[in-house]
Structure 1
Amino acid sequence: MGDDMKRLLFSAGKGGVGKTTLCRNLAAAAAYGGLRVVTADLDPQATLTIWSRRRPKTVPAIPHFKVAWSEADALLDDGELEGFDALFIDTPPSIETQPAAFQALLGRADLVVVPTRATFDDAESVAPFLKHLREEQRPAVAVLNFVKPRVNVNAVKSFLLDAGELCPVEVADRTDYARAGAKGLGLVDVPGHAGLDEMQAVWSYVRGKVWGRELPKRQIAGKEKKRVPAA
């Protein structure tokens, strides 16, 4: 495996599953790990774009692009994104409105991350998408998001595992994800927060799916960025 930039596509085919929250937190985790990260926002709601604009200078910078569907092919051009290790792409819920552009992104994605809430309603909504990705032999993983404490989600996990691969780390239902997001932060930016270890664990799993044991040479040679209390 070489040092080519990797594309991580965040999509679920429905809204309200925490897709943007997961995208920005994992992007921040990757930046702390020493990767040169860039994000792209295809969602007209532009939540990721707004978060990027609010990101403080006291935390690792993450370059960002707001991209219209009509310009999505720019995200397939390695020359336009030279110097980055990873591109995190946030997609809108209504991916069916742009089938050709979305299929092109799927074809170049090194991993499709499919967030879902830990309910049967949500799992049933994303399961067909997961099955489609598996049938098309696209690398994909589902992530349980907004998991409430003391709620048994084993049945939902078994259901999702029938459709595709599932990240073994669950993301808890924390209001601090929204509070941090309003300041341009992820919980990985907050030293000592329980959400930091949680998201780092998800990132460790995702990173392994994309790079395996061989990380980009820039990351191996560099040092992990230190966290400082964010204002």
Structure 2
Amino acid sequence: MAAFTTAEYMAALSRLQIAPHHLKMLQANYYAPGKTITATTMAKIMGYQNYNAANLHYGKLGRLIGQELHWIPLPKFAVNVLVDFDKPGQEWLWIMKPGVSEALEKLGLVGEEVPTIPEEINEAEPIFEGALKKVIVNAYERSNAARAKCLHHYGCKCVVCGAILSEIYGEIAQGFIHVHHTKQLSEVNAKYQVDPISDLRPVCPTCHAVIHLRKTPYSIEEVKQLMQAQKK
């Protein structure tokens, strides 16, 4: 296929009103080690049942971008507009094309912090109606790189209740999940470096809110026990 420039990818992405779940797929590929990912890992991150669904949805995005670039791919190779292929083992690798990764960077679609704040932690001080609400944001949960590594390991299934939001709300919620930092901010110092595997966990928004219903957050195990107690 023809080699497209960063500028061409930028123009195509700008013209295309990219769906949230397609953007999450691009971000998952971008933040994967070496910007390389398998369909199986992509499916895990997005909450799909298997790699076929990842192939289907990433391929659909490839076709849409291909149309913007006036490139018509063969059905099985639509994703080739976004990635190069390699197969050193049993699974094919999707290696993001440099032009795509550079376009995402220049368009501000990837970066050190995610554009939305998944968690706000209230300071222990009086709140008056009509007053501004002062909050502390857990920056470790806003790191795109840390979030991506966490989801690469755990997937986007809530570790508390087991919910996969796309199975409840459909396509609009594909790949959507909060990432919870298990260490309290009081336990870390300026030299602390987050470990995405041991320190972060994927949790649904409801469970995340319950975790922070008290000043000292509930642990994941405590919230699980609360749920189990209601089932007895």
Bigger radius of gyration, 1 or 2? Answer: 2
TM-score, normalized by length of structure 1? Answer: 0.25
TM-score, structure 2 length as denominator? Answer: 0.25
- Greater relative CO, 1 or 2 (CA 8 Å, sep 6+): 1
